[in-house]
Each structure stands twice: as C-alpha cells, then as structure tokens.
Structure 1
Amino acid sequence: MLHIAPVTLATDRLVLRPMSLDDVPAFAEAAKDGALWEKKTTTVPRPEDFDSYVSKALDLQAAGLALPFTTVVRDGDKVVGSTRYMNIDATNHRVEIGTTWIARSWQRSFVNSHAKFLMLRHAFEELDCNAVELRTHVLNDQSRAAIERLGAKLDGILRRHMIMPDGHIRDTVVYSIIREEWPAVKARLEDRIAGTSVGAA
C-alpha cells in the first residue's frame, strides 16, 4: 500500500513544505497577485476564503486523500502558491498532482518546473508510484502546454466533468506519466532546471 506522509521537498530555488493554517495570510496575498479567483479555468479562492480552503485541504490530508504543499520561493522566503498530491489511490500506487496555482508574477518562471520536478521525483523514487496523473480545464491552454512540455501523455477527456464556480461546465483533460517514462521526463526536467532563468516555464 502506498503511504504518503507530510514531507518538505526542496531545490536550490524552491521549497514545497506541508501546508498549514499559518499560511492563510500569505496565500491571500499571493492570490491577489493577478486576482487569480477571477480566472475562469481555475478555482483559486478569494482572499477571504483561504481559511476554509486550507482547513478542507488539511481534512483531506487527515483522511489520506491528499497531501497539500505551500509553494515557497527561497529568495525572500516568499509564498507564491500551492499544489498537492490528490486523488491518492494507495492500492494501485497512483496519485494526481493538482489544485496547483501560482501568483501571476511567478507564472512562466522557474517555479512550476521546480515544483513538478520535486513532486514527480518524490512520487516515483520515494513513494514508488506506478503513475502520476495531471488534469486541467480543456480551455486552459497555458496549463496544457506546461503539462505537455513535461512529457506527459494524453489519456483522454472527461466530458462535462465539473461545474465551475461561475456555473459553466468544465471538460477535464487527463494526462499521465508512468513509471517507465520517468527517467526521460526526469532528464528533461533536470536540463530545464539547470538552464532555468526568468521567462523559462
């Protein structure tokens, strides 16, 4: 059985640490960078709703269904977003990386590449996962492009999958990386991280 416990993951530029209620004020400030709650293809809370957001995430963690992280840029110890392992299938050694959001000033920077590298490496090399899923809104071209650059393969589309906060119905694109593909994905990410600069995704 897959056993996922809170852990801190880090590169020289980024830290993913276990989410806590202490992060609520920093999350609220990060979400204001770009008014992320207004974006139609994601579900980032309004600043005043992060207490509930974090509490629900920690409830899912206690139930063994998720492991949420706070995304922190080392330079200035700045909270810039959040991500998590979710839909944990302990029996079949599968997880999804999702509920990922990044303050607009840090989108298309090193943050996403470093975070995905850390989470994928931990999933395949420490948790011994068979597969890692990544999902996004069919209309979220930026997210789809980032996932495809990882080398994830398209599994399909869940049609009329979710009702979004504004009431529209989302089709969800499902991608995955399997254990056998990880070495090539890892090499690609290591090359990208080695050459990371502002503007790289």
Structure 2
Amino acid sequence: MFPERIETDRLRLERLTTDDLWSLYEHARADAPDVDEVTRYVSWEPHETPKVTHEFLSMVETQWADREGATYVVRTREGEPLAGEFGGTTGLGVDWDRRLGTLGLWLRKPLWGRGYSGERAGALLALAFDRLDLEVVAVNHDPENDASRRAIEKYVDRFGGRREGHLRNDIRFPDGTVRDSVRYTVAREEWREAVGDDHGVTFGERA
C-alpha cells in the first residue's frame, strides 16, 4: 500500500519502524538537544524512557499494517546538512471513508528554515494523490507557530490549496490541554494543475 522509500531532490523518506528505536529516542528523549523547541507546538511530549519510544513505534507499525497511515524518517541527501542522519519524522494519516489525508512533521533544529518542509509536503502530496487516489490533504498548525505558518502557507499556495480557517479547541495534547489550530487543504485537482504530469518524486522499496 505505502512505499517504503520516497525520494526528492534533497530528501529521502524511509519507513519508520522499531529498528529505528535508538535513533528516534536519541533525538526525542527529554534531554535531547533543542527538544523543548522541537516539541513546543507538536502534540507529543519528549520521551522519558526508551519504552515510550518503543510504544510509539509499535503504534506506527500497526497503523502501517492496517493501512491507516505511513510514517517516515526524514533524511537529507548528500551535500545537505546532517546528510544521511536521522533528521526527524513525517507522516500521512489516511481516512479512507472521506478520502482524506493529513500531514504531520517534526524536524531537528539544524534542518529548520531550509525549505525541507515544503519539499517533504510535495512528496507526501504525490503519495496521497498519485498513488493512493485520495481527494484532499489537510495540514494544521498551532496559531502561535509562525515558522510553521510561513512554511505551510508557502507550499499550500504553490500547490494551489487554501486556508480553511481557525479551529477552536481542535487538538488535545498529552498533558490534557486543548489548543486551537489553523487548517489548510489541497485538493487533488488543485495539485495536478500545479505540478502537471511530473511531480519529481520517486517511490520505491528500502535499499
């Protein structure tokens, strides 16, 4: 159903599995560099133990097996910062009944501000529309997260999408708090008109 590897000009996305436990834990643990900034606006908290990481990865593998979502390690390619290293994770959740995909992403701080968010979004839009035949892909950000807003607005505009609105009390966080979100969508027809016949993304199995 989902490709194990997706490649773009600067990125390689590889299926996230329990084999990645220690790489993920290294950068998601409570004392990891910049972890407070990384998790400030996301819906997960730093991992206190490897057990937490393993439980998360087990959930990810179940979602993959049940065809409910695909989660990938983000790696930059040769010549880019942190080339080949674990750079973060990204995913596409799937609601088949509504033919709707939902994007998610977090990156290590050295990869911020370099356009990787938009390039990765392009790859997952190609997966959603060209391979999975979904009709709409949505993405949300915290209203206070200006960096995500700028990145999302840039690629949503490039792919012909639109801002849907400010949703109040939309996301529940692990600590029990509830926050607003801002939602954007891109439809398949908008994406096709924007990219034409060549989306520049390669799907494959893990090397």
* Offset from partner CA, 1:96-140 (integer Å, 9 cap, x none): 112x10001111124222211111122222222211111122222
Structure 2 residue 183 is matched with structure 1 residue 178? no
The count of residues paired between Structure 1 and Structure 2 equals 184
Equivalent residue, structure 2, for 1:80: 87
Unaligned runs of 5+ in 2: 200-207
| Secondary structure of 2:42's aligned partner | coil
1-structure distance, mates of 2:33, 2:114? 15
> Residues 12 and 76 of structure 2 are in contact (CA less than 8 Å); yes or no, is this contact kept in structure 1?
yes
1-structure distance, mates of 2:57, 2:140? 21
> Residues 7 and 18 of structure 1 are in contact (CA less than 8 Å); yes or no, is this contact kept in structure 2?
yes
1-structure distance, mates of 2:103, 2:164? 15
Equivalent residue, structure 2, for 1:197: none
| Secondary structure of 1:109's aligned partner | coil
Structure 2 residue 81 is matched with structure 1 residue 95? no
Query: Bigger CA drift: 73-82 or 100-109?
Result: 73-82
Equivalent residue, structure 2, for 1:195: none
**1:38 shift after superposition:** 6.7
> Residues 37 and 46 of structure 1 are in contact (CA less than 8 Å); yes or no, is this contact kept in structure 2?
no
Question: Cα RMSD between the aligned structures?
Answer: 2.4
**TM-score, normalization: structure 2?**
0.78
> Residues 36 and 44 of structure 1 are in contact (CA less than 8 Å); yes or no, is this contact kept in structure 2?
no
1:13-28 maps to which residues of 2 (within 5 A)?
Answer: 13-28=10-25
Structure 2 residue 117 is matched with structure 1 residue 112? yes
Equivalent residue, structure 2, for 1:129: 134
> Residues 38 and 107 of structure 2 are in contact (CA less than 8 Å); yes or no, is this contact kept in structure 1?
no
Q: Percent identity?
A: 25
Structure 2 residue 66 is matched with structure 1 residue 63? yes
2-structure distance, mates of 1:185, 1:130? 15
The one-letter amino acid of 2:96's match is: A
2-structure distance, mates of 1:184, 1:148? 18
Q: 1:103 to 1:121 in 2, by over 3 A?
A: same
Unaligned runs of 5+ in 1: 191-201
* Offset from partner CA, 1:123-168 (integer Å, 9 cap, x none): 2222222111111222222112211111131112331122323443
The one-letter amino acid of 2:166's match is: I
Q: 1:78 to 1:38 in 2, by over 3 A?
A: closer
Q: 1:91 to 1:160 in 2, by over 3 A?
A: closer
Structure ranking higher in helix proportion: 1
